[in-house]
Structure 1
Amino acid sequence: MKRTLLLIILLLCFTNKVHANELIITDKNMNETIRRDDFSLSLFDDIFVDREKLDVLLNRLEEQVYQPPTNAKFDDSWKLIPEKNGQTLDRINFKKFFYEFFYSDVSFEMKIPKKNVYPKVDSELLSDIRSNEIGSYVTYYRPSNKERSHNIKLAAEAINNVVVFPGENFSFNKVVGKRTKEKGYLRAPVIVRGELSEDIGGGICQVSSTLFNAVSLKGIEIVERYSHSRNVPYVPPGKDATVSWWGPDFIFRNEYSHPILIRAKAIDGKMIVRIFSSEHIRTHE
Structure 2
Amino acid sequence: MKWTSMAYLLLILLQNHDGDKVINDKLSVTQEGKIISTINRNAHTFPVFPLLDIDKYDKWVNELDRKTYREATNARINNNEQIVSGQNGFKLNRIEFLKRYYEYLYGIGPASVEVPMYPVYPEVDAELLASLRSKQISNYVTYYNSSNKDRSHNIALAAKAINSTVIFPGETFSFNQVVGIRTTGKGYRRASVIVRGELSEGVGGGICQVSSTLFNAVDRAGLNILKRYSHSRHVTYVPPGRDATVSWGGPDFVFKNAYNQPILIRAFAGGGSMSVTLFSSDVIEFSSRKVPSMSNRLPEEINDPSPKPANVKE
TM-score bracket for this pair, using the shorter chain length:
0.7 to 0.9
Aligned to 1:221: 224
Q: Retained in 1: the 8 A contact 2:174–2:254?
A: yes
Deviations 1:236-262 (A, max 9, x none): 111110001121100000011111110
Question: Which of the pair is proportionally richer in helix?
Answer: 1
Deviation at 1:99, TM superposition (A): 2.5
Aligned to 1:35: 40
Aligned to 1:143: 146
> Which residue identity does 1:74 align to in structure 2?
I
* Inter-CA distance 195–281: structure 2 relative to 1 (3 Å threshold): closer
Q: Are 1:272 and 2:270 counterparts?
A: no
The CA distance in 1 between the partners of 2:126 and 2:186, in whole Å, is 28
Quick check: 61-70 or 109-118, which moved more?
A: 61-70
Deviation at 1:279, TM superposition (A): 0.4
- SS of residue paired to 1:274: strand
Deviation at 1:47, TM superposition (A): 4.3
Map residues 105-144 of structure 1 onto 2, 5 A cutoff. 105=108, 107-144=110-147
Deviation at 1:49, TM superposition (A): 1.2
The CA distance in 2 between the partners of 1:250 and 1:221, in whole Å, is 11
The CA distance in 2 between the partners of 1:17 and 1:85, in whole Å, is 39
* Inter-CA distance 59–196: structure 2 relative to 1 (3 Å threshold): closer
Quick check: 62-71 or 76-85, which moved more?
A: 62-71
Q: Select the residue among 1, 19, 22 that pairs with 1:17.
A: 22
Question: Which of the pair is proportionally richer in strand?
Answer: 1
Gaps of 5+ in 1: 1-12
Q: Select the residue among 169, 172, 176 that pairs with 1:173.
A: 176
* Inter-CA distance 195–157: structure 2 relative to 1 (3 Å threshold): closer
Deviation at 1:206, TM superposition (A): 0.5
Q: Retained in 1: the 8 A contact 2:245–2:253?
A: yes
User: Percent identity at matched positions?
Assistant: 50
> Which residue identity does 1:23 align to in structure 2?
L
Deviations 1:167-196 (A, max 9, x none): 11100001111111111211224589x686
Q: Are 1:162 and 2:155 counterparts?
A: no
The CA distance in 1 between the partners of 2:219 and 2:198, in whole Å, is 28
Deviation at 1:202, TM superposition (A): 1.0
Aligned to 2:238: 235
Aligned to 2:68: 65
* Inter-CA distance 109–82: structure 2 relative to 1 (3 Å threshold): same
- SS of residue paired to 1:150: helix
Deviation at 1:153, TM superposition (A): 0.7
Aligned to 1:5: none
The CA distance in 2 between the partners of 1:219 and 1:92, in whole Å, is 45
Q: Retained in 2: the 8 A contact 1:257–1:283?
A: no
> Which residue identity does 1:122 align to in structure 2?
D
Aligned length: 268
Deviation at 1:32, TM superposition (A): 4.1
Q: CA RMSD for the aligned pairs?
A: 2.2
Deviations 1:55-93 (A, max 9, x none): 222122222322221111111121110111111211111
The CA distance in 1 between the partners of 2:162 and 2:66, in whole Å, is 27
Please, what TM-score do these two structures have when normalized by structure 1?
0.87
> Which residue identity does 2:28 align to in structure 1?
I
The CA distance in 1 between the partners of 2:71 and 2:121, in whole Å, is 9
Gaps of 5+ in 2: 1-17, 288-314
The CA distance in 1 between the partners of 2:24 and 2:61, in whole Å, is 22
Map residues 80-91 of structure 1 onto 2, 5 A cutoff. 80-91=83-94
